[in-house]
């Protein structure tokens, strides 16, 4: 997501070449940042195709390849293989676990969680891998799951831990087997009261090939992708408030400001902006009859002392005003 405002969201698709990282020949390379996350922007972009090239597309609600870029890559690249990032699969399961915990919390107490509530206190422990739990955390979870009202939370926690165990295995075959086993179990009838698991099951079931492809085609680490995305977000943040690129190259003077100097006095010898000639003729100047008008007003209001206006007694004898009188006559 590139921008999130009340007027709507704007997305971009970041295209990264991970071939150097996979071959250990250099860092990842940013190819382009295409506005939108649909199919058309990537079709308009000519993607270079080389044998064995590893591409990574970022877009979609969970950071995995969205349907638009995925279908475009299938048409533009030879023999593409879509691989769903494990980070986003686990993040999806973690978000559903949090949703289930909040739902059960409101169903029991009728409010949001507070510091003294067991579900709220265990929110971080639920996200910890089972093999990394301390004795205190293990005891806390056992006490939490002993309550039958927390059965939905325990079921969501089990799915989350199953995914973590599958991705943490050193053997790709075992990890693929555990993931396939989880997908098969999610295809079966899910009991009522497990809305979050039912929603979670849609992505692994509909995109099971992309999820399982990770074990057959290990993708490069997500660190290069996250590093490039972080730099892009940083650049976007520091650019807030800047004008559009066209305005930066062709600045438009403020209507109440002095126009630019003519080319003769420009040390860069750049052509004068068309705005200069426009503002030059529109710049407020003394009209031809201004001298006569001022002379008439001062004659009408003779009680006003000229020194109070900062004018000399013989102001009309000045060469400037004499020229104004001649022009107005």
Is residue 329 very low, low, confident or very high in pLDDT (cuts 50, 70, 90)? Answer: low
pLDDT for residue 33 is more than 90: no
Is residue 308 very low, low, confident or very high in pLDDT (cuts 50, 70, 90)? Answer: low
pLDDT of 282 reads: 40
- Asked if residue 90 and residue 79 are part of one domain, the reply reads no
Q: Give yes or no for a contact between 161 and 155, defined as CB atoms under 8 angstroms apart.
A: no
Is residue 310 very low, low, confident or very high in pLDDT (cuts 50, 70, 90)? Answer: low
Domain-located, residue 238: no
In whole angstroms, what is the distance from residue 98 CA to residue 200 CA? 12
Residue with the two structure tokens 């001062």: 298
Domain-located, residue 254: no
Cα angle 12-16-21, degrees, rounded to a multiple of 5: 155
By C-alpha distance, which of 30, 89, 101, 19 is closest to 52? Answer: 19
Sign of CA dihedral 1, 75, 215, 211: positive
Choose from 183-187, 266-270, 272-276, 298-302 the range with maximum mean pLDDT: 183-187
Q: Give yes or no for a contact between 284 and 255, defined as CB atoms under 8 angstroms apart.
A: no
pLDDT (tens digit per residue) in 128-174: 999 999 999 999 999 999 999 999 999 999 999 999 999 999 898 99
Is residue 272 very low, low, confident or very high in pLDDT (cuts 50, 70, 90)? Answer: very low
- Asked if residue 212 and residue 90 are part of one domain, the reply reads yes
Domain-located, residue 268: no
The tally of CA atoms less than 13 A away on the side-chain side of residue 259 is 15
288 versus 161: the higher-pLDDT residue is 161
- Asked if residue 72 and residue 38 are part of one domain, the reply reads yes
Is residue 109 very low, low, confident or very high in pLDDT (cuts 50, 70, 90)? Answer: very high
Give the domain range for residue 135: 86-216
Percentage with pLDDT > 90 across the chain? 31
- Count of domains observed in the chain: 3
- Asked if residue 163 and residue 98 are part of one domain, the reply reads yes
- What is the residue-averaged pLDDT of the chain? 75
Last residue in a domain, options 168, 184, 216:
216
Per DSSP, the three-state class of 12 is: strand
Choose from 203-207, 276-280, 318-322 the range with maximum mean pLDDT: 203-207
The tally of CA atoms less than 13 A away on the side-chain side of residue 127 is 16
Domain-located, residue 100: yes
Q: Give yes or no for a contact between 233 and 24, defined as CB atoms under 8 angstroms apart.
A: no
pLDDT for residue 104 is more than 80: yes
18 versus 65: the higher-pLDDT residue is 18
- Asked if residue 209 and residue 101 are part of one domain, the reply reads yes
pLDDT of 142 reads: 94
- Asked if residue 163 and residue 106 are part of one domain, the reply reads yes
Residue with the two structure tokens 């997305």: 11
Last residue in a domain, options 201, 233, 265:
233
Overall residue count recorded for the chain in this entry: 329
Q: Give yes or no for a contact between 159 and 182, defined as CB atoms under 8 angstroms apart.
A: yes
Domain-located, residue 158: yes
Percentage with pLDDT > 70 across the chain? 59
Domain-located, residue 258: no
pLDDT for residue 260 is more than 60: no
Question: Which region among 1-15, 82-96, 147-161, 178-192 has the lowest average model confidence (pLDDT)?
Answer: 1-15
Domain-located, residue 79: yes
Give the torsion through C-alpha atoms of 12, 207, 178, 23, to 10 deg. Answer: -50
- Asked if residue 67 and residue 187 are part of one domain, the reply reads no
Buried b (16+ CB within 10 A) or exposed e, 16-36: bbbbebbeeeeebebeeebeb
- Asked if residue 281 and residue 329 are part of one domain, the reply reads yes
- Asked if residue 188 and residue 126 are part of one domain, the reply reads yes
Domain-located, residue 265: no
pTM of structure: 0.59
- Asked if residue 100 and residue 34 are part of one domain, the reply reads no
- Asked if residue 195 and residue 97 are part of one domain, the reply reads yes
Is 50 buried (19+), middle (13-18) or exposed (0-12) by CB count in 10 A?
Answer: exposed
pLDDT for residue 219 is more than 70: no
pLDDT of 243 reads: 56
Which bin fits 143, alpha (ψ -120 to 50), beta or left (φ > 0)?
alpha
């Amino acid at each position: 997501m590139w921008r999130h405002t009340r007027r709507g969201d704007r997305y971009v698709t970041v295209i990264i070449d991970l071939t150097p990282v996979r071959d250990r020949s250099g860092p990842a390379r940013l190819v382009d940042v295409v506005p939108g996350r649909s199919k058309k922007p990537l079709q308009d972009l000519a993607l270079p195709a080389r044998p064995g090239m590893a591409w990574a597309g970022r877009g979609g609600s969970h950071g995995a390849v969205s349907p638009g870029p995925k279908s475009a890559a299938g048409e533009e690249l030879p023999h593409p293989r879509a691989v769903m990032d494990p980070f986003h699969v686990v993040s999806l399961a973690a978000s559903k676990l949090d949703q289930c915990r909040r739902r059960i919390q409101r169903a029991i107490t009728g409010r949001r969680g507070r510091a003294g509530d067991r579900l709220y206190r265990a929110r971080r422990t639920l996200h910890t891998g089972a093999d990394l739990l301390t004795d205190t955390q293990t005891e806390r979870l056992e006490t939490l799951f002993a309550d039958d009202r927390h059965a939905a939370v325990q079921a969501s926690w089990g799915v989350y831990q199953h995914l973590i165990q599958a991705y943490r295995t050193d053997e790709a075959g075992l990890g693929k087997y555990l993931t396939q086993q989880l997908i098969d179990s999610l295809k079966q009838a899910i009991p009522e009261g497990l809305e979050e698991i039912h929603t979670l099951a849609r992505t692994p079931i509909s995109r099971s090939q992309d999820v399982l492809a990770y074990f057959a085609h290990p993708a490069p680490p997500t660190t290069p992708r996250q590093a490039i995305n972080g730099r892009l977000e940083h650049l976007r943040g520091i650019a807030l408030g800047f004008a559009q690129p066209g305005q930066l190259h062709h600045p438009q003077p403020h209507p109440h400001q002095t126009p630019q100097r003519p080319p003769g006095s420009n040390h860069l010898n750049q052509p004068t902006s068309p705005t200069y000639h426009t503002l030059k003729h529109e710049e407020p100047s003394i009209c031809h009859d201004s001298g006569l008008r001022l002379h008439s007003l001062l004659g009408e209001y003779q009680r006003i002392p000229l020194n109070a206006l900062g004018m000399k007694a013989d102001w009309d004898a000045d060469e400037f005003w004499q020229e104004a009188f001649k022009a107005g006559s």
